[in-house]
Amino acid sequence: KQEVTQIPAALSVPEGENLVLNCSFTDSAIYNLQWFRQDPGKGLTSLLLIQSSQREQTSGRLNASLDKSSGRSTLYIAASQPGDSATYLCAVRQVKTSYDKVIFGPGTSLSVIP
Amino acid sequence: DAGVIQSPRHEVTEMGQEVTLRCKPISGHNSLFWYRQTMMRGLELLIYFNNNVPIDDSGMPEDRFSAKMPNASFSTLKIQPSEPRDSAVYFCASRKSGRPTDTQYFGPGTRLTVL
């Protein structure tokens, strides 16, 4: 059974710092891995999607890497800003079942202090 | 496109009452997902439809929960009778499906409080 974990559960950093969020998964048979952002009281918004054949994806100050063999992904945020404060969830899309299924991690709550 | 639309945004009801949550997916998307999010359990998949057909309902907590998708543009999640432990935020998401690059688009959620 696929399990997705995220470390740390919460993180507080001063504005301007570079930071790394971690995601681990137990079954490497994945279609893709995705990072989402969730603002308080809102739905999830997709940030980056890495296909199983890719190693990383970049969007602006965000860079996500994927190491399928070790079951790990990292989300790197450069020059953090207060507007980056949110919960970040990673999700893996599996292929082993007769249909694909997305499993979410518990999230990392990020607070960027001005 | 307006994105995934959910209604109501907030629902407060008393234990034992029937609750119906509604979702309109993005036009052209053929997969629809219902999730429940709580502090204790995080984001849990309740049921997944593909082309209006329920594919996996193993996440539905018990028989009190039921979901329907009568057509490609509408789905409902019903709880009858509701209990205080059903209090959570319920999200609907849709996806075009097929390609590995397709992502789920989430609605704003319905915050359910059962007293």
CA Rg, chain A, in Å? Answer: 14
> What is the predicted pLDDT for the residue at A98?
55
Could you say which of A99, A102, A107 has the minimum Cβ distance to residue B42? A107
What percent of chain B is predicted at pLDDT more than 70? 97
Show the CA angle centred on residue B62, arms to residues B57 and B64, nearest 5°: 105
CB B51 within 8 A of CB B109: no
Element (H or E) spanning B94, and its range?
A: strand B88-95
- Best A37, A39, A102 residue to mutate vs chain B (most B CBs within 10 Å): A102
Per-position pLDDT tens, chain A of length 114: 889 999 999 999 999 999 999 999 999 888 899 999 999 888 999 999 999 999 999 999 999 999 999 999 999 999 999 999 999 999 998 875 556 678 899 999 999 999
Cα distances (angstroms) measured from residue B59 to each of B18, B19, B27, B51: 20, 18, 25, 19
CA nearest to A95 within chain B: B100
Min CA distance, B7 vs chain A (Å)? Answer: 13
Higher-confidence residue: B91 or B102? Answer: B91
* Diameter of chain A measured on Cα atoms: 48
Mean pLDDT of chain B: 93
CA nearest to A43 within chain B: B108
Q: Give CA–CA dist B106/A77, Å, rounded.
A: 23
pLDDT at B46 over 70: yes
CB A90 within 8 A of CB A104: yes
pLDDT at B111 over 80: yes
B15-44 confidence digits (pLDDT tens): 999 999 999 999 999 999 999 999 888 899
pLDDT at B50 over 70: yes
> What is the predicted pLDDT for the residue at A99?
62
**B43 touching A (Cβ < 8 Å):** yes
The encoded tokens of residue B80 equal 């009858």
Q: What is the mean pLDDT of residues B59-88?
A: 95
> What is the predicted pLDDT for the residue at B1?
64
Residues of A with Cβ-Cβ distance to B108 under 8 angstroms: 42-43
Residues of A with Cβ-Cβ distance to B104 under 8 angstroms: 44, 46, 102
Instruction: With CA atoms as reference, report the closest residue to B66 among B43, B82, B50.
Output: B82
Could you say which of A46, A89, A107 has the minimum Cβ distance to residue B103? A46
CB spacing of B42 vs A93 below 8 angstroms: no
How many other CB atoms are found less than 10 A from the CB of residue B69?
A: 20
